[in-house]
Amino acid sequence: MGRSTTKTRKKITIQSLVRLYEKGEPISVLTAHDFPSASVAEAGGMDIVLVGDSLAMVALGMEDTNEVLVEEMLLHCRSVSRAVESAFTIGDLPMGSYEVSPQQAMQTAIRFVKEGRMNGVKLEGGEEMAPIIKRITDAGIPVMAHIGLTPQRQNALGGFRVQGKTTAGALQLLRDALAVQEAGASLIIIEAVPAEVAALVTSKLRVPTIGIGSGNGCSGQVLVQIDMMGNFPPGRFLPKFVKTYANVWNEALQGVERYRDEVKSRAYPSSEYTYPMSEEVIEELRRVLDDSHQK
């Protein structure tokens, strides 16, 4: 059986994440988008709970992450924060909320800490985002950088394509990683990069890398919870790197179908699911109703 944590688990901080990194213990990261998904991530012992902008699709039914607004992200961040006591929480800054200027980025990041109750923020981009990352970290807010495949820039990248497959691409990835590290990023997500390249980049850094579709040479791993839990209808596209650890959709569907059938057949609610009433009171009520009807 898997290990389930209790409320005695110490609060995870940037310092404790650094200690895991220095010990060589992989850092476990999982997305959450509401109170229930955050509750199970916390109970399951995640080191970091990420309120990813992937919630645009998995929670709000949007086409891609670019549609989600700051106010929507903050609502979900607050929901997640109410469930997480020990894990380190990070909120994803949505497209358009940080790229304009370091000042804009800092103001958005502050909202994610104050209103969203997050411990840190995540933003996409490499070298070009270094001044923005530095402004946020100078304000005392931890930053998780995101390089490689950056979904908010899918239109410029030509869709969801593996990055760093050429020598030039791999060297650019390393430049991006070093730049965001020097700007003060505490962690770096590397998405959809060949495992060998991600491992090489990781070896050149002094901060942890978190892989998603980038092999196990990274300092930790992240997946979208809905994906790894199998909580989606059959036939939905899944990236190659997603391993499903459960079949929540099938379990939920079976429960809903059984409920529907029992409602239709009047099997539910049976007597065990109803509140009892004494026969005397029932008889008295019938007499009163009969008398009033006769009048």
Indicate left, alpha or beta for 45 from its phi (over 0: left) and psi (-120 to 50: alpha): left
DSSP H or E segment with residue 189: strand 187-191
Which one of 63, 72, 127, 191 is the catalytic residue?
191
Paired tokens of 215:
């092999």
Tell me the chain's radius of gyration from C-alpha atoms: 24
Torsion of CA 148, 144, 17, 182, to 10 degrees: 80
269: preceding bond cis by omega (within 30 degrees): yes
Separation of alpha carbons 289 and 252, rounded Å: 43
- Helices (DSSP H) in the chain: which residue ranges? 14-23, 35-43, 55-58, 70-81, 102-114, 130-138, 154-157, 167-182, 195-203, 225-228, 248-264, 279-294
Q: Could you confirm whether 284 is annotated as catalytic?
A: no
Separation of alpha carbons 197 and 49, rounded Å: 26
DSSP letters of 87-116?
SEEEEEPPTTSSSS-HHHHHHHHHHHHHTS
Residues with catalytic function: 191
